[in-house]
Chains A and B, each alone.
Chain A
Amino acid sequence: MAFHGRYLGGCAALALAAVLAASPTHAQDAAALNAEAAGNDWSTHHGTYKSYHYSGLEQINADNVKNLEVAWTHYPERATRGLQSTPLAMDGVLYYSGSYSRVYALDGATGKTLWTYAPELDEELVAKQTHSPYNRGIALGQGNLYVGTVDGRLIALNQKTGKPVWDLKLLDSKKVTVGFTGAPLVVKDMVIIGAQGGEWPGRGPIFGVDGKSGQKKWQFDTVAGTEEAMATWGNDSWRTGGGGGWMPGAYDPETNAVWWGTANPAPLYDWSGADWKKSGPRPGDNLYTTSVIALDPDTGKLKFYHQELPHDAWDFDSAVGEFVMINRADKKLVVHANKSGFVFVYDRSNAKVENVWPLVKNINFVKGIDPKTGELIGRRDLNLGKAETPLCPAIAGGISWNSGAYSPKTGLYYKIGQEWCMELTVLKTTPILEPMAQLNIGADFKLVAPPDGAARGHLDARDPVSGALKWEVNYKEPPLASVLATAGNLVFVPDAEGVVHAYSADSGKELWSHNNGMGHNAGIISYMAGGKQYIAIPAGWGSLVSDEYVALYGEPFKSMAKNTGALVVFALK
């Protein structure tokens, strides 16, 4: 680890120089991608590589946001499980994906359709999948638009025409069941995409594909991807380990490192109790599940990593969460939220833990996490049978998979926390691999309210490094969409009931709201078209977490339309 740190530190200037010395077009793209704020374009999933989900545009601001209104709306076809994707925008064109990996290119000012693309999917396979057929995002680069599919393909489309350029099969989804639902990430010439995994007994690969040729260049298995990692899976349990990297990471050009979060191991829950290093279904630490890993984008080689939860026994992925790259004094840091409700702060050069702080109040799977080392303190390892008290947070997490936002103007990190727990009974299970891999859960469970009140959510505005709270807004139900911060001193939160809120980034005071009529579980962006700023919000309810809301909250979710959606775009009057 120390070696990596010194080596990377010494090469940082060279790596940055290499990025900036690329072709003029490439250099321009790199500058925009490495900026703190997204400008006229929103060209990558997290806004820029710094993952702030922050727009530098300020036409729409705290003074005039009361005049925000719907500019245009687009309705996608076959919006099964609503809309879950984050749009992109470039040169006044808005691109987004819907279920079945359908892609739409629209005039950003009017919503006029420029082109659409609907891949032919293996519908028989899709019907057998649990997490389908939604898609959570796309990527742009090399004049192409990239989208993954639930039947295991990565497809490149001509960005101007929507015509297929190449179509690459990366996963045998008929066998492993999982495919791709998350957005790819373009880094230099490479398109990087991670497979679903977690509770499915596979090895959770992440792929690097050459964007121009469509040739697979590398594969990194998040389960036992190195000799060191293989030794952390007793009884050959790596063969059915789970893992995966189902949401896109980010890129640090100074260390030429792609940061990616990995999913949990399978089964989700095991019965070995405190003896998990030697017994149970997957004895050992289970590397590199529930970890943040830094990969060389050119080779896929692992540079360094930190396992946030060694031997994750609670389904608290590291696959959720953006990688917020900030500098404090002379330190270069990256902030990453874990599904458990803890937020980790790392040294960007080597993944050394700099701090760990809790975003949510109801946590009992550990007594704490050492903020200096990241070591888990007082693990609550489960045994066979019914747990005496509910596990907190619940399987839906203290933090869900959509992203928070960071404003370099206020220095605050805006992030949704979720307060809920679950009763559970652990049972022994056996991985099902034939004829097609199946979920391996290992417990019966039921979501319940936490000890301190109702199941609920909150938007926190905190210092991203210390976790110090500046302000908080509470919600009856946790919002499940991404958050957007803007230079107009605004924070936007699309909520679960269908209302979009705009708050003052300084104080949390609500300044504007609009009811889109259906819940949100997608990404929100801002962009410029024809000299005018727009806010684009996909609406459309239906995801594994949102599906819990009928039992938890009743109305309006009981009667809320699912399998429908709309992209609603706002501008000033």
Chain B
Amino acid sequence: MRILFVTVAAMAIVWPWLPTAAAAQQSTPAGTASPPAQAEASPNDIDGQQMFATTCGFCHQDGGRAAGRGPKLSKTERSDEFIIERIKKGKMGAMPAFGSVFSDGQIIAILAYIRGLDD
């Protein structure tokens, strides 16, 4: 329940300044087994936890709750804008850039997952 609430809350914060859903569809398709369906899906339909466990958890440990190769993400004081920008552009030598790999909807779903994390 909490994750769902935070998903919606995070969407409310982030969505206005992201590209439109149509623009997101024109960008790179979402990268799962069914890319077209994912690209058309709204962030509500994307499982941010699953995406995190697929790729992000390699560095951000315990599902983002603990520091490891990457920093702890739960209860981070970084802004939504910062997190989205970091996911998109990465940090050379530390984190890959996912801006052309994940759709905006997928990135929002990951952000919502991070915001919903307990310690």
Contact = CB atoms under 8 A, between A and B. Distances in A.
A536 to B, nearest CB: 24
B90 A423 contact: no
Interface string B74-96: 00000000000000011011001
B100 A547 contact: no
A58 interface: no
Contacts of B55: 432, 438-441
B90 A445 contact: no
Given A128-B96, A444-B63, A551-B66, A438 B50 contact: no
Given A80-B92, A429-B50, A430-B32, A441 B58 contact: yes
Contact of A444 (B28, B31, B57, B98): B57
Contacts of A443: 53, 57
Interface string A421-457: 0010101111111111011111111110000000000
A442 B54 contact: yes
A551 B71 CA distance: 9
Interface of A is mostly: loop
A435 B68 contact: no
A128 B100 contact: yes
A442 B68 contact: no
Contact of A447 (B30, B68, B70, B96): B68
Contacts, number: 108
B117 to A, nearest CB: 11
Given A438-B101, A442-B53, A423 B62 contact: yes
B57 A551 contact: no
A133 B68 CA distance: 20
B63 A435 contact: no
Contacts of A435: 28-29, 31, 100-101
Contacts of A446: 61-62, 65-66, 68
A527 to B, nearest CB: 30
Contacts of A542: 93
Interface of B: 28-33, 35, 49-50, 52-55, 57-59, 61-70, 89-90, 92-93, 96-98, 100-101
Given A199-B58, A430-B50, A441-B58, 12 more contacts: A428-B50, A429-B50, A435-B31, A436-B31, A438-B55, A439-B54, A443-B57, A444-B52, A444-B53, A444-B63, A547-B68, A548-B68
